[in-house]
Amino acid sequence: MASPPALQSYAASFQEVLQQMEGSTAPGPAEVKAWARQALEDERAGGPDAHVAFAHGSLGLLAGHTSYMEGYAVLMSLPFGVAVALQASEKAAVRLRHTNDDRRWTWDPKTTQAADAALPTWVRVVRESLRRAGLTRPAEVVVASAMPPACIDARLSALSVATIRAYHGFASHAPAPNVETVAQWARSVISTCTGVPYSSAYPLAVHAADPPGLTLVDTSKADYLPLPAPPADELRWGLITTSRAPVRPPAHHNDQHERAIDALRALNRTPYGPLTSFSQMKHRDLDQALELLDPVHRPVARHLVSENRRVARLVRAVQTHDWQLLGTLLMMSHHSLCDEWAGTNAVVDFIVDAVADRATDGMFGACLTGRGQAVLLVGRSLALHRCLNEITDDLDAAFGLDAQPLVL
């Protein structure tokens, strides 16, 4: 029998795109909740019904700056996330496990536990979230996640919110807290457990999640507004993750937080004060205000004022389907993060520069999303597919990294 004719290059490329899109479809809420429920049933071998809650992950497009000073942020809801199953136990302790880990962690729910840096961060987040929510009796707890580990902020915020939701299904006698309270609990929990300042934009976006939509958040008012998702036939999102480790150590984030506070105090000694946040600074006044600041404060003020301004422009770009502008704003944010904030590293810069080099091929832009080594890419479908594969190969050649690409 004769072999079938070879596909033309463009047809083969399009076929690969479709296969990658289908193959990268992550497990949805029902499947992840089923993982957690089944694991809990295996653990308990019967008993009362489990209470299972789910929270979508939300990636920051322009959000990281709100961890240092209140302001505006835009985040993207993911179709996948984290599930937490909770069930009453006859034992004397709370027992926790993850579906991807055979280990067990236990603690006394009636005793305040000191922070234990030896515990995995996710264990500390679950334990502290349950304590804040009010758990005082023994329970079996199981976590299931479809979140990439490198998406640190998105993963931990979904984990904390899902844990709090599971508890309030478990403790039906307790009134469920409002959205603002849950967001502040999650923010405090994650900041405590990671040792770095953290933004309420992530848990607020988790609550508002409507994949594949975007969410505009005002952290100063704990307010949020859904934005329409860019049409998939006009652009596609991709993600490249290279490591589970944060891009920068906790000391960097704490130092930057202090620098932000000092810079705002300095700005408030000028005619442009008083301000409670850089988001209140009018962008048209920025250059004149910077002239009045000590040079040490200028990069911090420029970055934080400009990021809030870029949020407003990004919202406009989404509303007008101006994807070139959207990509440009993400690239501008990245370069500000690199030059003004010292918040990137060589691998992240390599990925973003590689995307910039492919602008004429249909790529719009890229940016670091959160504190982990996860870079968000945006472009047209065929261009995104090629870009993900080529950059993954280039990272292996340049750094010896086994990068993981994902079409969102």
Which residues have C-beta within 8 Å of that of residue 117, sequence separation ≥ 6? Answer: none
Angle of CA points 183, 186, 188, to nearest 5°: 110
CA distance 126 to 159: 7
CA distance 348 to 395: 10
pLDDT confidence tier of residue 13, bands split at 50, 70 and 90: very low
What is the tens place of the pLDDT at every residue in 68-125? 999 999 999 999 999 999 999 888 899 999 999 889 999 999 887 766 778 999 999 9
Residue-wise over 299-334: b if at least 16 C-beta within 10 A, else e? bbbbbbbbbbbbbbbbbebbeeebbebbbbbbbbbb
pLDDT confidence tier of residue 50, bands split at 50, 70 and 90: confident
pLDDT at 24 over 80: no
Which backbone phi and psi does 358 adopt, to 5 degrees?
A: -105, 20
**What is the arithmetic mean of pLDDT over 227-231?**
91
What is the tens place of the pLDDT at every residue in 240-283? 999 989 999 999 999 999 999 999 999 999 999 999 999 999 99
Q: Which residue has the tokens 């859904």?
A: 226
pLDDT at 373 over 80: yes
Report which of 54, 52, 74, 36 is spatially closest to residue 161, judged by C-alpha positions.
54
Structural domains in the chain, sorted by start: 26-227 (3.30.230.10), 236-407 (3.30.70.890)
CA distance 199 to 184: 9
| The pLDDT of residue 171 | 86
Torsion over CA of 375, 401, 151 and 187, rounded to 10 degrees?
Answer: -110
pLDDT at 2 over 80: no
pLDDT at 338 over 80: yes
Which backbone phi and psi does 306 adopt, to 5 degrees?
A: -70, -35
Torsion over CA of 273, 201, 153 and 170, rounded to 10 degrees?
Answer: 140
Instruction: Report the phi/psi class of residue 370: left, alpha or beta, with left for phi > 0 and alpha for psi in -120 to 50.
Output: left
Percent of the chain at pLDDT above 70? 92
CB 26 within 8 A of CB 239: no
Q: Is the peptide bond before 231 cis (omega within 30 degrees of 0)?
A: no
Percent of the chain at pLDDT above 90? 81
| The pLDDT of residue 44 | 67
pLDDT at 321 over 70: yes
CB 139 within 8 A of CB 89: yes
CA distance 85 to 107: 17
